[in-house]
Structure 1
Amino acid sequence: MPQDLSPLWISLKTSLLATFITFFLGIAAAYWMLGYRGKAKSLIESIFIAPLILPPTVVGFILLVFFGKNGPIGRLLEPFDFTIVFTWYGAAIAATVVAFPLMYKTSLGAFAQIDRNLLQVARTLGASEATIFWRIGLPLALPGILAGTTLAFARALGEFGATLMLAGNIPGQTQTIPMAIYFAVEAGAMNEAWFWAITIMVISLSGIIAVNFWQEPREKSRTGERRRREQESEVSALPPRFSATELRVDIEKILAGFDLKVSFSTDEQPLGLLGGSGAGKSMILRCIAGIETPTRGFIILNGRVLFDSQKGINVPSCDRRVGFLFQNYALFPHMSVAQNIAFGLPPGLSPVAIKQQVEAQLVQMQLEGLGDRYPHQLSGGQQQRVALARALASQPEALLLDEPFSALDTHLRSQLEQQMMATLADYQGVTLFVTHNMEEAYRVCPNLLVMEQGRAVQSGSKYEIFEHPTTVNVAKLTGCKNFSPAILKGDRQVEAVDWDCTLRVIESIPNSFSHVGIRAHQINFTNEPNQENTFPCWLVRTSETPHRMTLFLKLHSSPTNSHDYHLQAEVFKEKWAILKDQPLPWHVQLEPLRLMLMEQSTK
C-alpha cells in the first residue's frame, strides 16, 4: 500500500461531484431532447455525445482552450483571481464532460422506453407537465437512470486524458487514481500500480453490482405469474352531471397516408365510430383529447371551445376534462390500483377525501381488496376496470374509449361489454366508442358514425345504418356479404348483373345507386318456386361455425368448381339438418323488403 492515499480522496471527490452534476444535467437534457422536434436536434445530440467519441486528449485540449488564461471562461474568471486550470476543479470539470454522454444516452433510452400512452393519459387526467415528470416519467425511468449514474461515476473515476490536459498531475492536488497508476508504472513501482488498479476496479464494480442487486427483485416481481380474478358483477361508476351535453367536431388533419376530414355532433347517447384499420377513428379521439392537433377546424364540448384554428385556441389536454381509455389501458405500472385511481381525482382534495373516493370507486368497480395490488398482478378485465375508474374519477365531460375490448378473450369480452353498457347507461357525459367490430358497435352504441379513409361516409341510428347502408363499404363493415352491380329495369325493378336475375324492390330507387345487396341471414329457402324474387339454386360448399352453417349457393345452374357461387346464406344448424337432405335444386327467395340498394364506395 502506498503511503500517500491522496489519489483515492481526489478521485472520489472529483468523480462524485462530476456524477452529481451529470445526474441532473443528463436527466434534464434527455427529457428535453425526448420531446424536442426542432431542426437542430441532430446537431445538439452530436454535441452532447461528442466527448464519448473524441479522444480524451482532444476533449482536454478543447477544455483547456475554454478554461485557459486566454480562453473565454478563463477571462471571465480572471477579475475574481480564480482559475480552473491545474486545480481539482479542473479535474472535476473534465470528469463531468466525459461522463455526461453516458448519463445522457442512458437516461434518454430509459425515458424513450416509457409507454407514450402513460404520459398522454396523465395529461387527459389533468396532470401538469411537472407532475407527469415527477410522478410518471422519473419513477418509471429510475432503473435506467440509476444504471446511467453508475456508468457515469465509473467513467468519471477512470478519466485520464482530459484531466491530464486541464488539471495536470500535481500530487496531493490533481493526481487522481488513473494518473497515479500511469506514473507508478512509468517509475517502475509495479506494486503501487497494482494497488491503485485493484482499488479503482473494486470501487467501479461495486457500484455496478449494487445497482444490479437492487434491480433484480424488481424484475422478478414484474415477470412473476399474474393472479387472475375475474369479475361477475355489473359495473357502475360515479357519473358527473352536466346541464347540457354536446360535442361538436369539425376538423381536418393532414396525415402521411391520408387526410382526416370529419364533421359530426353527438349528445349523451354513446356514439360508435365504426371503420376498418387506418380509417382515422383513433385519430379523432386523440384530437379531441388534445394529444394530436388538427390542421384546421374546431372542437366544442358543452359550450367550451377546446380547439379553434381560426381563433388560435388549443386547450391543453390537462384542461379539457376528457377521459381517455386506451386500448392497452395505460395503467401506471409503478403505482398501485388505489394510486392509479387517485391520480385521476381532482387536485386539492384532503387525504381523507381521496381515500373515501378511491374506496368508493373500488367498491363500485367490484375491485374490493385489490387497492394495494399493482397492474401486473391483475387480470386483463381487472386492468380495464381500474383504467375506467381512473378515467371517471377525473369527472370528465367526455369519455373516449379506444377499442377497450380488443385485448380480451371472447368470454371476458362479453362480460365486460355488459358491464361497460351499464356504466355508460348511468354516465351523462359524451361517450365516443371506437371499434372495428360491427356486432360490438351494434350492441353498445345506439348511434354510429361509419369511417372510411378519413371520411365519415354515413351516420345515424344503428338501425338505419344496418338496414339501409348507403355504400358498398358501409354494408361490408356492417356484415353484409352478398353484393351485385345493378341497373334500373323499371318501376321498383333492378337487374342484379352478377346474379343474372331481375329483382323487385320495396325501397325507392336512388338515382346514384350502383349495387344491390342482401344479408346472408335474410335469405329464405322456400318450397314455392313461383313466388316473386325466387330462384333455383345449387349448393357449392359449406362453412361451419358452432351454431350456424354458411351455405355458398349458385343460382340457375349447377356449379363447375368450389369458387363458382353467387350468394352466401346463413342458417342455424337446426334448419340445416332439415335442408341438407332435400334434393337439389333448392329455391331461395330474396325478399323485396330485405334488398338493399347502395352506391359504389369511394376510392
Structure 2
Amino acid sequence: MPFDLSPLWISLKTSLLATFITFFLGIAAAYWMLGYRGKGKALIEGIFVAPLILPPTVVGFLLLLLFGKNGPVGKLMEPLGFSIVFTWYGAAIAATIVAFPLMYKTALGAFEQIDSNLLRVARTLGAKESTIFWRISLPLAVPGILAATTLAFARALGEFGATLMLAGNIPGQTQTIPMAIYFAVEGGAINEAWFWALAIMGISLSGIIAVNYWQETRGKRRGQINSKSLSPSLPHSLTLSSPSFSSGLFVDIEKQLSGFSLKVCFSGDKQPLGLLGGSGAGKSMILRCIAGIETPSSGRIVLNGRVLFDSQRGINLPPRDRRIGFLVQNYALFPHMTVGQNIVFGLPKGLSATAIRQLVETQLIAVQLEGYSQRYPHQLSGGQQQRVALARALASQPEALLLDEPFSALDTHLRSQLEQQMVGTLANYEGVSLFVTHNMEEAYRICPHLLVLEKGKAVHYGTKHDIFEHPATVGVAQLTGCKNFSSAVPITSGQVQANDWGCTLNVIEPIPDALSNVGIRAHQIMFTDEPNQENTFPCWLVRTSETPHRMTLFLKLHHPSTNNNDYHVQAEVFKEKWATLKDQPMPWYVRLDPLRLILMQ
C-alpha cells in the first residue's frame, strides 16, 4: 500500500463532480432529443457522442485548445486570474466530457423504452409536459438512469488521456488513479500499480454490481403477482355519472399518412359510434387527432360547441385542455402508480385527501374492484386493468370517450364478459363515445351506428343494420363478414349475370347504376331438395373447414371440382345440419335467395 493516497481522493472528487454534472446535463439532453424533430438532429447527436468515439487524447487536445491560455475560454478567465489548465478542475472537466456520452445515450434509451401510450394518455388526462416528466417519464426511467449514472461514474473514474492533456500529472493536485498506475508501471513500482489497479476495479465493479442486483431484485418483486387479485366477479355495468352534453362531436379533417391520405368527415352524439376498418385504415389516427395527440394537416374538430382544432383559424388546443377520455389497446396504466393514484391522476389539484379517497372508493365500487386502491397494475389481470383504465378515463368526467380496440388484449371468454360491461357503461355515459375495432361482430353488438374506413376514407356511414344488410362496396361487405363475391353485370331490371359463378340471378333489390359485384353471406346459402326453384343450382363439395359448432363447406357450382382450390362459394351450416347433409349423394342443390343477395358498386 503506497503512503500517498491522494490519487484516490482526487479521483473520487473529480469523478463525483463529473457524475453530478453529467447526471443533470445527460438527462436534460436525452429528454430534449427524445422530442426534438428539428433540422440538424443527426449533427447534434454526433456532437453529443463524439467524446465516446474520439481518442481521449484528441478530446484532451481540443479541451486544451478551448481552455488554454490562448483559447477562447482561457482568455476570458485570464483577467480573473483563474486557469483551468493543470488544476483538478481541468481533471473534472475532462472526466465530465468523456462521461457525458454514456449518461446521455443510456438515459435516452431509458426514455425511449417508455410506452408512448402512457404519455399520450397522461396528456389526455390533463397533465402538463412538466407533470408528465416528473411523475411518469422520470420515475419509469429510473432503472436506466441509475445504470447510466453508474457507467458515467466508472468512465469518469477511469479517464486518463484527456485528463493528462488538460490537467497534467501533478502529484497531490491532479494525479488521479489511472495516472498513478501508469507512472508507477513506468517507474517500475509494480506493487503500487497493482494496488491502484485493484482499487479502481473494486470501486467501479462494486457500483455496477450493486445496480444490477437492485434491478434484479426489483424485477422479481414486480413479477410476484398476488393471486388473490385475479378472480373477482365482473360488474354488469358501470354507473359513472357525467354532465349532460347536447351538441356532440363534429370531425372534418385531413392528414397525410404513410401510403395514403386520411380524409374523413363525420359527427357523433350520445349513441356510441363504431369506427370499423382493417389494420392501417386510419381508425386509431382519427382518435389521436381528436384527442390532440396528433395534429391533422387541415380541417376542423368541434366538441360540444368548443373548437378543439381549426387549421384556418390557427386553433389547436393541447390534449390537456380538450376534456377527452382515451382508453388505448394496452390500457396504459402507469406501472409505478397504484390503482388509486392512476384513477386520480387527471383530477385537478386542490382536492382534499378525504375527497380523493371517496372518489377512488366510488370508482372502484363501480367497477367491482373495491379494496384494490393500493394494488399496482402488475398485480391485476387483463380484465381488471381494463376496468381501472376505464374508470380512470371517466373519473374526470370527460366530454368524449375514445376507445381504441379495448378488447384486443383479452381472451375470448373475458372479452365477452367485459363487452357486456362496456355496453352498460356506454348506455349510462352521456358524452360522445367513439369505439374503434376491426372486429365486425364486436362493432355490431356495441355500436348502433358505424363508420367504415378503407385507407383513410369513409366508405360507408350509417346504422349497423344498413351497413350489414346493404354494404356499399366489396370492401365494406368483407369487413362485415361476407365471403362470397362475383363480378356482375345487369341483364334486366330484375336480373344480373354473376360472371364468376357462371349463373344468372334474379334479384329483388334495385340494381345500382354502377353495379360491380354481387355477394351473399355464407350462412345465408340454403340447401334444398327442390332444384326447380329460382336461383337454385347444382353443386359439388370440394372441401370442408370445421369450427366447434359450424362447418364451412366449399362448393363448386354446375359441375365437379378439379382441385381443392377450385370452388365458387362458401356455405356455413351448423353441425346438426352437416350430419344429415354429408351422406347425401352429389350433386346437392343450393339456393341463393334473391332477398339475401347483396348488390355492390
- Which letter maps to 2:194? W
Which secondary structure does the structure 2 equivalent of 1:593 belong to?
A: coil
Confirm or deny: 8 A CA contact 1:229 1:378 kept in the other structure.
no
1:358-395 residue CA offsets vs partner (Å, 9 max, x unmatched) = 11111111112322222222211111111111111232
Identity of paired residues, percent? 77
1:326-359 residue CA offsets vs partner (Å, 9 max, x unmatched) = 1111121112222211213233322221221111
Q: Tell whether 2:37 aligns with 1:37.
A: yes
Q: Which residue of 2 aligns with 1:450?
A: 452
Confirm or deny: 8 A CA contact 1:534 1:587 kept in the other structure.
yes
Q: Tell whether 2:258 aligns with 1:253.
A: no
The separation in 2 between residues aligned to 1:551 and 1:182, in whole angstroms, is 82
TM superposition shift of 1:79: 2.4
Scaled by the length of structure 2, the TM-score of the pair is 0.96
Q: Which residue of 2 aligns with 1:75?
A: 75
Confirm or deny: 8 A CA contact 1:289 1:317 kept in the other structure.
yes
Q: Which residue of 1 aligns with 2:380?
A: 378
Distance 1:126-1:250 versus aligned 2 partners, 3 A rule: same
The separation in 2 between residues aligned to 1:245 and 1:212, in whole angstroms, is 56
348-357 or 112-121, which deviates more: 348-357
The separation in 2 between residues aligned to 1:318 and 1:233, in whole angstroms, is 30
Q: Tell whether 2:321 aligns with 1:310.
A: no
Confirm or deny: 8 A CA contact 2:507 2:597 kept in the other structure.
yes
TM superposition shift of 1:245: 4.2
Q: Which residue of 2 aligns with 1:268?
A: 270
TM superposition shift of 1:318: 1.6
Q: Which residue of 1 aligns with 2:152?
A: 152
- Which letter maps to 1:275? G
Q: Which residue of 2 aligns with 1:292?
A: 294
TM superposition shift of 1:179: 2.1
1:520-542 residue CA offsets vs partner (Å, 9 max, x unmatched) = 22222333333333333333333
The separation in 1 between residues aligned to 2:42 and 2:566, in whole angstroms, is 59
- Which letter maps to 1:64? L
The separation in 2 between residues aligned to 1:371 and 1:513, in whole angstroms, is 58
Confirm or deny: 8 A CA contact 2:253 2:299 kept in the other structure.
yes
Which secondary structure does the structure 1 equivalent of 2:344 belong to?
A: helix
The separation in 1 between residues aligned to 2:295 and 2:41, in whole angstroms, is 22
- Which letter maps to 1:113? Q
The separation in 1 between residues aligned to 2:429 and 2:317, in whole angstroms, is 24
Ranges in structure 2 where 5+ consecutive residues have no aligned partner: none
The separation in 1 between residues aligned to 2:180 and 2:556, in whole angstroms, is 92
> Aligned match of 1:552 in 539, 551, 554?
554
The separation in 1 between residues aligned to 2:175 and 2:587, in whole angstroms, is 101
Confirm or deny: 8 A CA contact 2:245 2:430 kept in the other structure.
no
Q: Tell whether 2:113 aligns with 1:113.
A: yes
Which secondary structure does the structure 2 equivalent of 1:361 belong to?
A: helix
Distance 1:536-1:324 versus aligned 2 partners, 3 A rule: same
- Which letter maps to 1:131? T
Confirm or deny: 8 A CA contact 1:272 1:449 kept in the other structure.
yes
Confirm or deny: 8 A CA contact 1:128 1:318 kept in the other structure.
yes
The separation in 2 between residues aligned to 1:352 and 1:175, in whole angstroms, is 59
Q: Map 1:434-473 onto structure 2 (within 5 A).
A: 434-473=436-475
Which secondary structure does the structure 1 equivalent of 2:573 belong to?
A: strand
TM superposition shift of 1:172: 2.2
Which secondary structure does the structure 2 equivalent of 1:262 belong to?
A: strand
Q: Map 1:554-569 onto structure 2 (within 5 A).
A: 554-569=556-571
Ranges in structure 1 where 5+ consecutive residues have no aligned partner: none
Q: Which residue of 2 aligns with 1:96?
A: 96
Which secondary structure does the structure 2 equivalent of 1:242 belong to?
A: coil
The separation in 1 between residues aligned to 2:95 and 2:541, in whole angstroms, is 82
Q: Map 1:358-397 onto structure 2 (within 5 A).
A: 358-397=360-399
TM superposition shift of 1:107: 0.6
Q: Which residue of 1 aligns with 2:162?
A: 162
The separation in 2 between residues aligned to 1:280 and 1:194, in whole angstroms, is 64
Q: Which residue of 2 aligns with 1:433?
A: 435
CA RMSD, 1 decimal: 1.8
- Which letter maps to 1:326? V
The separation in 2 between residues aligned to 1:557 and 1:172, in whole angstroms, is 100
Confirm or deny: 8 A CA contact 1:226 1:379 kept in the other structure.
no
1:137-158 residue CA offsets vs partner (Å, 9 max, x unmatched) = 1111111111111111111112
535-544 or 312-321, which deviates more: 535-544
Distance 1:482-1:71 versus aligned 2 partners, 3 A rule: same
The separation in 1 between residues aligned to 2:306 and 2:105, in whole angstroms, is 42
Q: Which residue of 1 aligns with 2:502?
A: 500
The separation in 2 between residues aligned to 1:181 and 1:590, in whole angstroms, is 91
1:17-46 residue CA offsets vs partner (Å, 9 max, x unmatched) = 111001000000011111112221111111
Distance 1:538-1:5 versus aligned 2 partners, 3 A rule: closer
1:70-91 residue CA offsets vs partner (Å, 9 max, x unmatched) = 2111222222222212222111
Which secondary structure does the structure 2 equivalent of 1:153 belong to?
A: helix
Q: Which residue of 2 aligns with 1:14?
A: 14
Runs of 4+ in 1 over 4 A off after TM superposition: none
The separation in 2 between residues aligned to 1:198 and 1:336, in whole angstroms, is 44
Q: Which residue of 1 aligns with 2:63?
A: 63
- Which letter maps to 2:559? S
Q: Which residue of 1 aligns with 2:534?
A: 532
Q: Map 1:301-340 onto structure 2 (within 5 A).
A: 301-340=303-342
The separation in 1 between residues aligned to 2:285 and 2:357, in whole angstroms, is 35
Scaled by the length of structure 1, the TM-score of the pair is 0.95
The separation in 1 between residues aligned to 2:557 and 2:111, in whole angstroms, is 62
1:59-104 residue CA offsets vs partner (Å, 9 max, x unmatched) = 1121111112221112222222222122221111111111111111
TM superposition shift of 1:180: 2.2
83-92 or 178-187, which deviates more: 178-187
Q: Which residue of 2 aligns with 1:279?
A: 281
- Which letter maps to 1:10? I
Distance 1:564-1:95 versus aligned 2 partners, 3 A rule: closer
Which secondary structure does the structure 2 equivalent of 1:98 belong to?
A: helix
Q: Which residue of 2 aligns with 1:485?
A: 487
Which secondary structure does the structure 2 equivalent of 1:260 belong to?
A: strand
1:251-279 residue CA offsets vs partner (Å, 9 max, x unmatched) = 11112211111111111111111111111
1:297-330 residue CA offsets vs partner (Å, 9 max, x unmatched) = 1111111111111111111112111121111111
Confirm or deny: 8 A CA contact 2:232 2:369 kept in the other structure.
no
